[in-house]
Amino acid sequence: MGIALLVYTQWFPTTTNDRRVKVQIPTFFVCGCRIIDCNIVRFGVFGGRVFLLDGQIYMNGLSLFANVGIAETYLSQVGVDIVVANELLPDRARFYQHLYPDCNMICGDITNPLIYNSIIDESHNNNVEFIIATPPCQGMSIAGQMDPEDPRNYLITYAIDVIRNLGPRYVLMENVFMQLQTTIRYNGQHILIPEIIETTLGDDYYIEKKVIDTKFYGVPQQRKRAIFLLSRKDNGTPWTFPPYNEQIVTLEQAIGDLPSLDPFVKEIEYRNVFPDYELKRQRGLEVSRWHFPRPHVWRNVEVMMHTPTGKSARQNSIFFPKKKDGTMVGGAPRTYMRMEWDHAAPTITSYNHTISSFQNVHPGRLIEGTELYSDPRVLTIFEMMRVMSLPDNWDIPNWASESLIRKVIGEGVPPLAVRRIVEVLDIH
């Protein structure tokens, strides 16, 4: 008998707690026996029956407030397949669908009953047993407005309603650490968010909560987050946090191998300060099409050229950020500040595009024979990908603007930390 090659995707049920195993091509027919072989599982099919040869069990998941799916980058490696997702903003939903074409992305406002019901219906239809929820944090973040009445603070209640409606086996909720100290009006009273979670879900779930720093989970970035881990009580055991790894991945280890780049100076009359700009830019693009410098104004570039690694230009005696009258501009001590090579990077925020924000500037290196420092610029998109623990081949869509990419990375959840937390469940 000849050999035929077919391409298709199929879900096969298993006998374990209604979980399903996802099988993706290719499919070979050899001597009347069909062998399905892919990078996820291997099955034999004969006489209309499916035989598990060497497979991995997957738990279907739902992602709420999904952004572009940064948090779930590695979830499929630890047994979770996100089959339904919800995101408010159309450009982010489109980005998400590009990264996860097989996922049912529901774009819209979860507070809209039509959207909410669609999330519930699709999750029921797909037997969702895992939820990851990362509600917006701008109303609670120290980098945001810290407004206790910000309507985005109340989106956590919709996540709670979804959990109560679906009753998944496991839930991971993530937010800024200030969430633990934030109160919202609930049932006519101002209550701390952790108390609402305990009150509404504590009867059915073991609840573990902790403020983690992602640098202790293999991420080359200091990023403190409040994490809630929920395990349904019929699982028999709580979902506990993995131990910290004290071996910190430094910025040197994460991006130290990448070629140095000069900034693109906005003012034409100062561009001759960097005669090797184009040569360096080409070397950067040979590494990745996302390793290119952002434009900056000369006054910011100049002060950072005179600023050592790990220091703020505010500490300079001559070259510091000035107003037109020559006095120092206002702002926090950690603005106009370079990162440090021998530490994990500071928290990447949604303001990662500007030199004047919190410790956004490349660490730089002392230029031999001078008192100047290289790379007076913010991190490139590619450097931020590494700092966020994203893979080098992260498939950014061609249509995405630099501002969109920087925004979603700054608001993302480091996926390696998520993987380390989820893998303790040993779903496979």
Q: List residues with catalytic annotation.
A: 137
Which tokens sit at 118? Answer: 């669609």
Asked if residue 148 lies in contact with residue 134, where contact means CB atoms within 8 angstroms, the answer is no
DSSP for residue 325: T
For residues 353 and 196, give the distance between their C-alpha atoms in angstroms, rounded to a whole number: 36
Burial classification of residue 370, based on how many CB atoms lie within 10 Å of its CB (0-12 exposed, 13-18 middle, 19 or more buried)? exposed
CB atoms within 10 A of CB 170: 21
For residues 311 and 337, give the distance between their C-alpha atoms in angstroms, rounded to a whole number: 6
For residues 99 and 102, give the distance between their C-alpha atoms in angstroms, rounded to a whole number: 9
DSSP for residue 333: T
CB atoms within 10 A of CB 230: 25
Asked if residue 20 lies in contact with residue 81, where contact means CB atoms within 8 angstroms, the answer is no
Q: Which run of H or E residues covers position 93?
A: helix 90-99
Which tokens sit at 81? Answer: 């397949």
- As beta bridge partners, residue 225 has 176, 212
Asked if residue 159 lies in contact with residue 133, where contact means CB atoms within 8 angstroms, the answer is yes
Provide the H-helix boundaries in 192-248: 193-201
Which tokens sit at 212? Answer: 């983690």
Q: In what order do the strands lie in the sheet with 170-176?
A: 104-107, 80-87, 59-64, 130-133, 170-176, 224-232, 205-213
User: How many CA atoms does the CB half-sphere of 128 hold within 13 Å?
Assistant: 28
Q: Write down how long the chain is.
A: 428
Which tokens sit at 384? Answer: 């931020």
Helix (H, G, I), strand (E, B) or coil at 203: coil
Which tokens sit at 39? Answer: 């990078």
For residues 125 and 109, give the distance between their C-alpha atoms in angstroms, rounded to a whole number: 21
